[in-house]
Amino acid sequence: MGYEIDLGRAGDKPGTMDLTELLATRLLVQGNSGSGKSHLLRRLLEQSAGLVQQAIIDPEGDFVTLAERYGHVVVEADGNEAELLRIAARVREHRVSVVLSLEGLDAEDQMRAAAAFLGGLFDADRSLWYPMLVVVDEAQLFAPAAAGEVSDEARRLSLGAMTNLMCRGRKRGLAGIIATQRLAKLAKNVAAEASNFLMGRTFLDIDMARAADLLGLDRRQAEMFRDLPRGHFVGLGPALSKRPLPIAIGPTVTESRNAAPALLPLPTMGEEARALILTASPEEEARPLPAPRPKPVRTPGPDVLVQLANYRPPVREDLPEEEPMDPAEREAAMAEILASVLADSDAAACTPATLYQDFTVRCRIRRIGGEAMGLPEFKRRLAVARAGVDGATAEGPAWERAQEMAAGLPEDLAGLFLLIARTALQGAPCPSDAALAEAYGTSSAGRARRMLGYLEERGAIVLRRDLRGAPIIAVPDLDVETGPQIGAAPVLTLRRRGRS
């Protein structure tokens, strides 16, 4: 025997929903704020109140008014998850309709409370698997498509409970009805389990496209969702209609206690308003001021790469203790390892952090003892190594000045500048685009050229061309410049401001 729920009007016919079919196939409702989504849920709950047990997950306290008229028990969640588990078990045992009000909790506590309550409903003994409508308003809060500001644990618990409700709840008598403002914010594995849909007014293209796809409409028909009046929805599914069916939701008996306030004229006060606002009443004077909340102190987390570099396996007592490495030998070994890292064919396109990780792994393989080289020191040495400076140039005061200048630049530009400085100090030809890109740690010559423009804006270098058009890079602070670039001179084309 089927039971029909009267939702309203579908044109000149009644808009009905088959309750028996709904219990087997679940329902997804979507509509922007103000589209009448909560009104639809209230109509559905009122029309089915005497036919089936109901449980409502209510994040805003909208549905507590059902209690007085239809006998729902209001459960005010207080963050006690163990107690909510026991309450949910008793709800299934005694077949009482309830409203779980989460109004007083923050977002993370709401997720934990909903997960505990849904888990209690889901884990009930097999003998208690009676039919029940489980309505979750603002479902995107409990099954978000992406991580938010809440902890991963709370999100995992809540998403798991919602997935159980929609994917495995049918065999346990639980028929999920989830409502959301944005389909794009709702986890797809939760939304995909619904077979019935009621889509209301929405404005964002991504939500309209997804709603049209669920209803089997084409892209042009998706525009209709922008024009739907408040309280009008398009329904589809085995419990509703085999074809998309516009439905105007009928009136409800109860009202939300959080209904939007009507416009009221402002009181006329004149000068009295100033005294009312700026002067405290005797009751306020006697009331102590709340203590200011201390600002949380955020300490930076440890550098993972440095932690990996400093890791040492536990010392085994049955093995002889290794002798400390001579500092000179250790320095030579680290220089050799750095050279082997840079000799890799893919090193030119890798970031310093990636190369540092490779460097620390090779150090552990070679059993390099002592304090590991930090990432800043590694970046400095990497920049010098990429510059390719020889011994004679490295010993001169000009190179020391070049390193001081590189230290004042962003870390990713130090290697590029030192390559230019070394070339200019040696009077060698201007480096090619490929060499400049490798010194910057990229395979893109265009990006390296943009970085040259940035160095010129900072006053670190000056770019010019000789009479043949070959580029030359000067370093004014060192009073040196490179020779003309050999070969593909026209490739290095930089646009200066105001010129083309």
CA distance 233 to 252: 16
What's this model's pTM, rounded to 2 decimal places? 0.55
CA atoms within 13 A on the CB side of 420: 32
Q: How confident is the model at residue 497 (pLDDT cuts 50, 70, 90)?
A: very low
Describe the strand order of the beta sheet including 232-237 as a list of residue ranges: 13-18, 4-10, 241-249, 232-237, 196-199, 27-30, 174-180, 132-136, 53-58, 98-101, 73-76
Query: Model confidence over 402-451: pLDDT tens digits?
Result: 888 888 888 778 778 888 888 888 888 888 888 888 777 777 778 888 88
Which comes out higher in pLDDT, residue 56 or 289? 56
The Cα angle at residue 352 between residues 403 and 387, in degrees rounded to 5: 40
**Of 405-409, 466-470, 490-494, minimum mean pLDDT range:** 490-494
Neighbour order of strands in the sheet with 480-481: 462-465, 471-475, 480-481
Residue 393's Cβ-count burial label (10 Å; 0-12, 13-18, 19+) is middle
* Phi and psi, residue 123, nearest 5°: -90, 10
Question: Which residue from 310, 320, 305, 297 is spatially nearest to 358, judged by alpha carbons?
Answer: 305
DSSP letter (8 states) at residue 226: G
* DSSP-derived secondary structure for 298-331: PPPPPPHHHHHHH--PPPPTTSPPPPPPPHHHHH
Radius of gyration of the chain (CA): 35
- Phi, psi dihedral angles at 384 (to 5 degrees): -65, -45
Tell me what pLDDT residue 273 has.
Answer: 76
Work out whether the CA dihedral 498, 411, 406, 471 comes out positive or negative.
negative
Secondary structure letter of residue 42 according to DSSP: H
CB 236 within 8 A of CB 215: yes
Whole-angstrom Cα distance, residue 176 to residue 34? 23
Helix (H) or strand (E) holding 45: helix 37-48
Instruction: Give the pairing type, strands 73-76 and 98-101.
Output: parallel
Question: What distance lies between CA 494 and its chain's CA centroid?
Answer: 38
- Least confident among 35-39, 116-120, 440-444, 458-462: 440-444
Tokens describing residue 155: 């999100």
Is residue 425 a contact partner of residue 417, using CB atoms and an 8 Å limit? no
| Nearest to 482, CA basis, from 411, 408, 432, 407 | 432
Q: What is the pLDDT of residue 19?
A: 92
Residue pair 441/351 in contact (Cβ under 8 Å)? The answer is: yes
**Dihedral sign for Cα atoms in the order 59, 60, 61, 65:** negative
Do residues 280 and 335 touch, judged by C-beta distance below 8 A?
A: no
Give the model's pLDDT for residue 293.
58
- What angle separates helix 375-387 from helix 397-407, to the nearest 10 degrees? 130
- pLDDT tens-digit readout, 335-389: 788 788 877 777 766 777 777 777 888 887 777 766 667 777 777 777 777 666 6
d(CA 434, CA 436) in angstroms, rounded, equals: 5
Instruction: State the Cα–Cα distance between residues 200 and 40, nearest whole angstrom.
Output: 10
Task: Please report the DSSP string for 425-474 in residue order.
Answer: HHTPBPPPHHHHHHHHT-S-HHHHHHHHHHHHHTTS-EEEE-TT--EEEE
Dist CA 345 CA 108 (whole Å): 48
CB atoms within 10 A of CB 114: 29
Structure tokens at 237: 């599914």
Distance, in Å, from the CA atom of 259 to the CA atom of 244, rounded to the nearest integer, reads 30
- Report pLDDT digits (tens) over 105-163: 888 999 999 999 999 999 999 999 999 999 999 999 999 988 777 888 889 999 999 99
Residues in the chain: 500
pLDDT of residue 303: 59
Give the confidence band of 309 by pLDDT, cuts at 50, 70, 90.
low
**If phi over 0 gives left and psi between -120 and 50 gives alpha, with beta otherwise, what is residue 433?**
alpha
